[in-house]
């Protein structure tokens, strides 16, 4: 499993989100035999922290254009993997429901 360090500015992300990301990693791997990579995880964390793609890119040292491309593919990938339509705005809510 990939463990991307949480930047100091993101330490306020709730433990439920971190637990949710671990659960999501397991579900995605079980259904697709693929692990989420670092930028995908960064997009997920940033989405839960209400960051724009530009802010995510700056925090994790990627270009904003690349973060947007990865994000677009990620939402489609997750929607197929978990069977629910996922996007940047609803991801965190879906994740929190799965953890509860």
Is 55 a member of any domain?
Answer: yes
pLDDT computed for residue 100 by the predictor:
67
pLDDT computed for residue 9 by the predictor:
43
pLDDT computed for residue 7 by the predictor:
46
Report field, pTM of the whole predicted structure over 0.95: no
Tally of domains in the chain: 1
What distance in Å separates the CA atoms of residue 6 and residue 91, rounded to the nearest whole number?
18
% of the chain with per-residue pLDDT over 90: 54
Is 8 a member of any domain?
Answer: no
Is 1 a member of any domain?
Answer: no
**Residue 64 confidence (pLDDT) above 80:** yes
Is 65 a member of any domain?
Answer: yes
Is 30 a member of any domain?
Answer: yes
Q: For residue 55, what are the domain limits?
A: 13-99
Q: Report CA-CA distances (Å) from 26 to 58, 66, 67, 79, 84.
A: 28, 25, 23, 15, 16
């Amino acid at each position: 499993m990939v463990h991307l360090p949480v930047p100091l500015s993101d330490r306020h992300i709730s433990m439920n989100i971190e637990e949710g990301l671990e659960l999501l990693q397991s579900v995605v791997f079980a259904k697709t035999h693929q692990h989420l990579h670092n930028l995908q995880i960064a997009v997920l964390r940033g989405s839960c922290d209400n960051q724009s793609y530009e802010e995510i890119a700056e925090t994790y040292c990627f270009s904003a254009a690349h973060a947007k491309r990865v994000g677009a593919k990620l939402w489609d990938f997750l929607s197929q993997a978990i069977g629910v339509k996922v996007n940047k705005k609803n991801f965190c809510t879906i994740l929190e429901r799965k953890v509860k």
